[in-house]
Amino acid sequence: MRVFVCDIDDIEEGGVHILKFENIKIGVYRHRGAFYAYKNLCAHQGGPACEGRLMKKVVERLNADKTYIGEDFDAADPHIVCSWHGWEYRLLTGENAVNPNIRLKRYEVTQQDNKLYVEV
């Protein structure tokens, strides 16, 4: 079933819109001109994952001998951070940042006439 989300311009770059449909909530994100939609349900303890912060991926910089140099941030691979206990999910795939076998439920996003829809 195709469900209307909002007008495309209602989600700013790097933003999220939480859609309520029947008994589910879906977070629809805009990142670098593309849209991603996930069920607002954390795989840890059921927290509202999509209501957490969106943060750049932290990338450790290491010497050749694996000693720590510092950290950088990768804006191309942002993470959704669940506000309850901090589990992180890759925005691009919905995979958990530590264990990619754990994922947020993903929904297909379509666009038509400057409007966004998700398939539920």
Residues that bind ligand FES (CB under 6 A): 42, 44-47, 49, 82, 84-87
Q: How far is the CB of 58 from ligand FES (least distance, A)?
A: 17
DSSP code per residue over 53-103: EEEEEEEEEE-TT--EEEEEEEEEEEEEE-TTT--EEETTT-BBSS-TTSB
Nearer to ligand FES (CB atom), residue 15 or residue 46: 46
Q: How far is the CB of 16 from ligand FES (least distance, A)?
A: 16
Nearer to ligand FES (CB atom), residue 5 or residue 88: 88
Nearer to ligand FES (CB atom), residue 25 or residue 115: 25
Quote the distance between the C-alpha of residue 7 and its chain's center. 19
Reported as type and span, the H/E element at residue 29 is: strand 24-31
Is residue 87 within 8 A of residue 48, CB to CB? The reply is: no
Nearer to ligand FES (CB atom), residue 47 or residue 78: 47
Q: How far is the CB of 60 from ligand FES (least distance, A)?
A: 21
